[in-house]
Amino acid sequence: MANLEHESILLAHGGGGSLTRLLIEGTFVKTFSNRILNELGDSAVIESPGRQLAFTTDSYVVKPLFFKGGDIGKLAVCGTVNDLAMAGARPLYISLSLIIEEGFLVKRLHAIMDSIKVAASEANVIVVTGDTKVVERGAADELFINTSGIGALSDGISLGAKQVRVGDTILLNGSLAEHGISVLSQRGEYGFEANIASDVAPLAGMVQSILAVAPNIHFMRDLTRGGLAAALNELAVSAGIAIEVDEQSIPIRKEVLAACNMLGLDPLHVANEGKCIVVCAEDCDEKVLEAMRRHEYGKDAVRIGRIIEHKKSIVIGRTPIGGKRIIDMPSGRLLPRIC
Amino acid sequence: MNVLDRFSDTELAAAVLKDISGLANRMSSRTVRLMEVCGTHTFAIMRSGIPGLLPSNIRLVSGPGCPVCVTPPGLIDLAAEISLREDTTLVTFGDMMRVPGTRRSLESAKAKGANVHVVYSPADLIPLAQNAPDKRIVFFAVGFETTTPSISWTLIRAGESGLKNLFIIPANKLIPPALDLLASDKNTNVHGFICPGHVSVIIGSAAYRPIANKYAIPCAVAGFEPLDVLLAIRMLLLQLVEERAEVEIEYSRVVTERGNERACEIIDEVFEPADSVWRGLGIMPRSGLKLRPKYQHMDALLSHHSCENPALDLIGSGNSSEAQTGTFSDDSMPSGCACGEVLKGIKIPTECAMFGTRCTPDNPIGPCIISSEGTCAAYYKYGPNPYGKP
């Protein structure tokens, strides 16, 4: 991909002229080449993939752009693919829009596009349309990405908070807080280093395996910003139920826990990018758990709690010493504390 | 198994709780009020659901050991004013960001364009100052004896390397004078102190002996895992049953009687005790720290004195040489806020009319709801007891 003679992105790359064309054809079409994208029409024209579609969009502004375990490109694919997967949909198409700060190094752009290619291929989606804007130095922080995605739902799949019932089991596909701590440690702001990789991963494959054995699961949610605590609290409120979680059952890797303790962060509040909860009826939880564990991104899957009867829509944690406490909704930005 | 896992072991906890229950029975005619002084203990207690596991006549009340909560709002205003100066970067611990002053918080100053930088360690100040020689780097130095050594060390280093652009707003405070005040205040009605673990690593458990002796009040220095707290409660109850008032160390894996003498020397090199205002508690003699003359040129409040800022006029007023700079009258609580009584353990957060209604972490009125060690924040986050007493 040595077709771009410039080392860094110029405002002209977004100007709509010959440099824009060069960027689109030399980089994007070359990297993501497929029949629909290659048309380069004003819109991608796609086959209607099924009776019910899932459609989602998300923007990615992570800093640093490259972190252990991934980069903004992989994140931009996985985040959107996972949102489709959580609706029970099979992801098919994504769009890719870039806002690039003037002066951004072309070779870094290429590295990120390559990473998008790999992630999209793993997630079985194709990039069918896109957009590029270049803004003046200082008007954006290096690179922002927006992706939208379309997925198809199989007949009979109906997931949502309204399906959740008292007695349902809550399953989690693996250990928590790795993305948040990885990124935080690599910002270098707090003089704290840790060799922790982000968990960023596309979950659509695992979800399809779950739906194959148990199409009647009730609810799924990926645990991004706000972590497990936010996802559980949102579920409790939107389903009008309460949740009890056995804290000891929640897997957290030792080094992640140590970093959280040091920074005074609750691992249940920290972001993940490859984790989700699955809520299903108690009588099929073993089957779902097995399906999850057979998959690479669910091999550490566990039961963490259940839906309970309670007058308030709250999340209650059973602590290791047998106590009970509220698992709260995170508030504000996570900041390390004094001691 | 990780060593720390043992400190949240289900069976060990059950055994200690059984002992606690037995001791509580022997005092069943009275309600025993034990105060955890330190905000980190309050969080550990609430987070592990300890209140719901204790016998009904054993109550835990929280003390003033949250450095953010006891920082006067006028000083937060002042720090925010300083942060808005173009030639200045205000550096702070993350906890301080969202605590309201009377006019604004550092977070809202940042949103207005102020240079506010969060650090995890005071040692980060040195490269910050070195890399921005044309900026004044002003650190909001809050904290108890736990954080003071690293601040002192940083100032010593800054002096040695000839840094001219590093300053602090000295707001560090000392725990023993606060305990003395609480023990002497009849309204607090405390029968035992769970003493802060990390402060004690520095000052040693012997620092509490005068208080235990003077007020005949048992003290136990505790660690921060659930079993640490349960074991400290057991120690205090046993002392009460046996009518002893001693200082015992539960957190013996890091705390000694004499403390970290080198750290104390470093503090003493840079700071000396001074009268200090505690938000909600008022002015307490020799309960804070001011810079010794050799380091006074690093006092941001002295060096900013000449700037045109009405807030700074307060610095001089009513300030004796015995007091911290920045000691001025505005330690007021917002109207209706019970943080002052909460910090003294007289009220629990749910007894404040604004708790959880007008005052929430998203809309903080007092400091205790927003600090990561604030008592109200712990109650709000983890609930006083989701299921009521078992």
Contacts A248 to B, Cβ<8 Å: 10
Q: Are B56 and B100 part of one and the same domain? A: no
Query: How high is the pLDDT of residue A298?
Result: 97
- Total domains, chain A: 2
Say whether both A280 and A171 belong to one domain: yes
pLDDT at B217: 97
Q: Which residues of chain B are within 8 Å of residue A337 when distances are taken between CB atoms?
A: 93-95, 372-373
Return the closest-CA partner of residue A145 out of A109, A181, A173, A198.
A109
pLDDT at residue B330 in the model: 58
Chain A residues inside the 8 Å CB shell of B230: 321
CATH of the domain at A69: 3.30.1330.10
Interface check for A325 against chain B (CB to CB < 8 A): the answer is yes
ipTM: 0.76
| A51 close to A137: Cβ distance less than 8 angstroms | no
Q: In this complex, do B147 and A328 lie within 8 Å of one another by their Cβ atoms?
A: no
A336 touches chain B (CB under 8 A): yes
Position A121 in a domain = yes
pLDDT value of position A2? 43
Q: Please, are residues A127 and A38 in contact by the beta-carbon 8 Å criterion?
A: no
Assign residue A307 the CATH number of its domain.
Answer: 3.90.650.10
Q: Do A25 and A113 reside in the same domain of the chain?
A: yes
Residue B327 domain flag: no
Chain-chain contact of A337 with B387 (C-beta, under 8 angstroms): no
In a domain? residue B237: yes
Q: B268-303: per-residue pLDDT in tens?
A: 999 999 999 998 888 999 999 999 999 999 999 987
- Residue A99 to residue A186: CA distance in whole angstroms: 23
B39 and B62 housed in the same domain: yes
- Which of A254, A325, A338 lies closest to B382 in CB terms? A325
* Beta carbons within 10 angstroms of residue A191's beta carbon: 11
Identify whether residues B167 and B77 lie together within a single domain.
yes
Q: How many domains are there within chain B?
A: 3
Distance to chain A for B68, nearest Cα, Å? 9
Chain B touched by A236 (CB under 8 Å): no
Instruction: Tell if the CB–CB gap between A314 and B198 is shorter than 8 Å.
Output: no
- Burial pattern A71-89, b for ≥16 Cβ within 10 A else e, equals bbbbbbbbbbbbbbbbbbb
Tell me, yes or no, whether B285 and B137 share the same domain.
Answer: yes
Both A145 and A166 in one domain: the answer is no
Residue B133 corresponds to which tokens in the numbers above? 């020689």
CB neighbour list of residue A104: distance below 8 Å, 6 or more residues apart: A8, A9, A142, A143
**Distance between B306 CA and the closest CA of chain A, angstroms:** 31
Q: A-contacting residues of B 344-373, CB under 8 Å?
A: 360-362, 372-373
> Based on the domain organization, do A41 and A168 belong to the same domain?
no
Instruction: Return the residue of A nearest to B124 by Cα.
Output: A191
The verdict on residue A293 lying in a domain is yes
In angstroms, what CA-CA distances link A67 with A70, A179, A334?
Answer: 6, 9, 19
Q: Which of residues 44-63 of B touch A (CB under 8 A)?
A: 46-50, 52-53
pLDDT of A334: 64
Query: Does B267 map to a domain?
Result: yes
Interface residue B67 vs chain A (CB under 8 A):
yes
A337 and chain B in contact, CB less than 8 A: yes
Assess A309–B contact: CB distance below 8 Å, yes or no: no
Of A153, A181, A215, the domain-final residue: A153
> Would an 8 Å CB–CB cutoff place B19 in contact with chain A?
no
Q: What is the pLDDT of residue B120?
A: 87
Could you tell me which residues come within 8 angstroms of residue A149 by beta carbon, excluding any fewer than 6 positions away? Answer: A54, A55, A56, A57, A80, A81, A83, A84, A91, A93, A94, A95, A125
Give dist(CA A275, CA B51) in Å, integer. Answer: 33
Give the model's pLDDT for residue B334: 79
Both B373 and B345 in a single domain? yes
Let me know if residue B179 belongs to a domain. Answer: no
Q: Is B92 on the interface with A (CB under 8 A)?
A: no
CATH number, position B46: 3.40.50.11750
pTM of the complete model:
0.84
Do residue A94 and residue A210 come from a single domain?
Answer: no
pLDDT tens figures, A240-265? 999 999 999 999 999 999 899 888 78
CB-nearest partner of B47 from A190, A325, A335: A325
Pair B216, B243: CB distance under 8 Å: no
Query: Are the Cβ atoms of B386 and A325 closer than 8 angstroms?
Result: yes
Which has the closest alpha carbon to A152: A36, A55, A217, A76? A55
Residue A336 lies in a domain: no
CA-nearest of B314, B326, B322 to B279 is: B326
* N-to-C CA span, chain A: 50
Q: Choose the closest CB to B14 out of A322, A331, A332.
A: A322
Domain identity same for A184 and A202: yes
Spatial separation of the C-alpha atoms in residues A318 and B8, rounded to whole Å: 12
**Structural domain boundaries, residue A123:** 11-153
Output the pLDDT for position B317.
39
Chain A, nearest residue to B371 by Cα:
A337
Of all residues in chain B, the one with the smallest CA distance to A255 is: B2
Tens of each residue's pLDDT in chain B, 390 residues: 466 678 889 999 999 999 999 999 999 999 999 999 999 999 999 999 999 999 999 999 999 999 999 999 889 999 999 999 999 999 999 889 988 888 889 999 999 999 999 998 999 999 999 999 999 999 999 999 999 999 999 999 999 999 999 999 999 999 999 999 999 998 999 999 999 999 999 999 999 999 999 999 999 999 999 999 999 999 999 999 999 999 999 999 999 999 999 999 999 999 999 999 998 888 999 999 999 999 999 999 987 554 444 444 444 434 456 788 776 645 677 788 888 899 999 998 999 999 989 998 888 888 899 888 899 999 988 886 554 433
Structure tokens at B258: 């004499």
- Closest Cα in chain B, distance from residue A257 (Å): 11
Looking at A153, A180, A209, which one is the last position of a domain?
Answer: A153
pLDDT at B367: 87
Provide the pLDDT for residue A337: 55
Same domain? A147 vs A211: no
Q: Do B124 and A191 touch (CB under 8 A)?
A: yes
Token code pair at residue A11: 């405002």
**Cα distance from N-terminal residue to C-terminal residue, chain B:** 30
Judgement on whether residues B50 and B77 belong to the same structural domain of the protein: no
Which token pair is B163? 């840094």
List the domain range (segments joined by +) for residue B127: 73-172+260-316
* Interchain contact, B47 vs A192, CB within 8 Å: no
Which portions of chain A are predicted below pLDDT 70?
1-5, 190-192, 332-339
In this structure, the answer to whether residues A166 and A313 fall within a common structural domain is: yes
Q: Is B387 on the interface with A (CB under 8 A)?
A: yes
Question: What pLDDT, on the 0 to 100 scale, is given for residue A68?
Answer: 93
> Does one domain contain both B142 and B226?
no
Residues A167 and A302 in one domain: yes
Q: Measured between CB atoms, does A195 come within 8 Å of chain B? A: no
Q: To 5 degrees, how large is the angle CA B26–CA B344–CA B20?
A: 20
Give residue A186's pLDDT.
87
